[in-house]
């Protein structure tokens, strides 16, 4: 067994905030908040964390347990984290080795970025259903209309959040991708998308806790490992079709919607770079 936060045969996920350090290195108590097809979420005094059976869904606030020895907890069940394990009463499960999120690029190759953008757009067109495609086009038009001056405030789009199909609403997924693209590729320091504490508080009232946490992570440029690998590759090499399709197929429509928002952000970034 490998203790998270300690290097062994390979790299492991490194916590990035005090809350994440609590998950990986300190004893921490919580309760199961929600169950999903791929795992469950846990509410603790340091925020939400996830336990997943799919390695590709790992992120800085998630742990990985073996499919062969995966717990089946009930909502409200008490949970105890200790370094390297998670326990439900007398039942203990080892937290398995995970992966290091890729580093962000200091330099971006515009040619690779433009080529990969065209490829992503083709995949998104194939991956989204017609109904989702029409909704995403409306989101794109709204961003284009309100973002002509450069800066975008998510408060202007608050009425869209929490709408659309999916366990994470389609609009929330789209704006997650937009935010990730802004944080990774915007040439302006700090990005052009503005998220205020007021917006985050209002967002809690409009959407579910998973979508809220997804947006909050994207605000810091973080997502599931699979998406971060794609982001890290886009500005330095040709991305593989298998990687893009695996991202697009996350959830029923979540992955494709995230990629749609990402494409919009990359387009905005490229226009700014060419105009500079």
3-state class percentages of the chain: helix first, strand second, coil last, to nearest 5: 50, 15, 35
Contacts of 194 (CB under 8 A, 6+ apart): 151, 152, 153, 154, 155
Write the DSSP assignment of 119-182 as a string of letters.
Answer: HHHHHHHHHS-HHHHHHHHHHHHHHHHHTTTS-EEGGGGGGGTT-SSTTTTHHHHHHHHHHHHH
208/139 Cα distance (integer angstroms)? 20
How does 229-259 read in b/e, with b if 16+ C-beta sit within 10 Å? bbbbbbbeeebeeeebebbbebbebbbbbbb
DSSP state of 96: P
User: What is the CB-side half-sphere exposure of residue 172 using CA atoms within 13 A?
Assistant: 25
Cβ 267 vs Cβ 274: under 8 Å:
no
User: What's residue 28's pLDDT?
Assistant: 79
Q: What is the pTM of this model?
A: 0.75
Lateral strand order in the sheet of 85-88: 62-64, 47-52, 39-44, 28-36, 78-82, 85-88, 91-94
What separation in angstroms does the CA of 28 have from each of 23, 86, 87, 200?
7, 10, 11, 25
Q: Which domains does the chain have, with CATH numbers?
A: 18-94 (2.40.50), 110-275 (no CATH)
With 0-12 CB in 10 A as exposed, 13-18 as middle and 19+ as buried, what is 17?
Answer: middle
Quote the distance between the C-alpha of residue 204 and its chain's center.
17
Q: What is the pLDDT along the chain (276 residues), one digit of tens a residue?
A: 222 222 222 223 333 333 333 344 567 788 998 888 778 888 887 777 878 877 666 666 777 777 777 888 889 999 888 777 888 888 888 876 555 566 666 788 989 999 999 999 999 999 999 999 999 999 999 998 887 767 888 999 999 998 876 678 999 999 999 999 999 998 777 678 888 889 989 998 998 877 888 898 898 888 888 898 899 999 999 999 999 999 999 888 899 999 999 999 999 888 877 776
Quote the distance between the C-alpha of residue 107 and its chain's center.
22
Cβ 215 vs Cβ 201: under 8 Å:
no
Beta bridge partners of 93: 86
């Amino acid at each position: 067994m490998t203790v998270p936060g300690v290097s062994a045969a390979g790299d492991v996920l490194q916590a990035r905030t005090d809350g994440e350090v609590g998950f990986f290195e300190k004893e921490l108590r919580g309760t199961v908040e929600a169950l999903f097809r791929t795992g469950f979420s846990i509410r603790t005094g340091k925020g939400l964390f996830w336990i997943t059976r799919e390695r590709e869904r790992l992120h800085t606030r998630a742990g990985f347990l073996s499919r062969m020895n995966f717990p089946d907890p009930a909502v409200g069940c008490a949970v105890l984290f200790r370094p390297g394990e998670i326990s439900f009463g007398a039942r203990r499960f080892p937290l398995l080795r995970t992966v290091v999120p890729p580093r962000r690029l200091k330099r971006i190759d515009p040619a690779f970025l433009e080529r990969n953008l065209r490829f992503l757009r083709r995949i998104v067109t194939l991956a989204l259903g017609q109904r989702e495609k029409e909704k995403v086009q409306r989101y794109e038009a709204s961003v284009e209309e309100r973002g002509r001056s450069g800066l975008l405030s998510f408060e202007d789009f608050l009425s869209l959040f929490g709408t659309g199909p999916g366990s994470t609403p389609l609009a929330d997924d789209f704006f997650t991708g937009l935010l990730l693209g802004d944080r990774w590729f915007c040439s302006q320091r700090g990005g052009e998308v503005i998220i205020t504490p007021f917006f985050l508080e209002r967002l809690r009232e409009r959407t579910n806790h998973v979508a809220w946490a997804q947006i909050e992570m994207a605000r810091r440029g973080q997502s599931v490992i699979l998406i971060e690998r794609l982001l890290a590759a886009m500005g330095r090499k040709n991305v593989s079709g298998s990687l893009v399709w695996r991202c697009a197929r996350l959830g029923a429509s979540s992955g494709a919607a995230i990629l749609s928002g990402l494409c919009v952000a990359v387009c905005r970034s490229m226009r700014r770079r060419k105009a500079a």
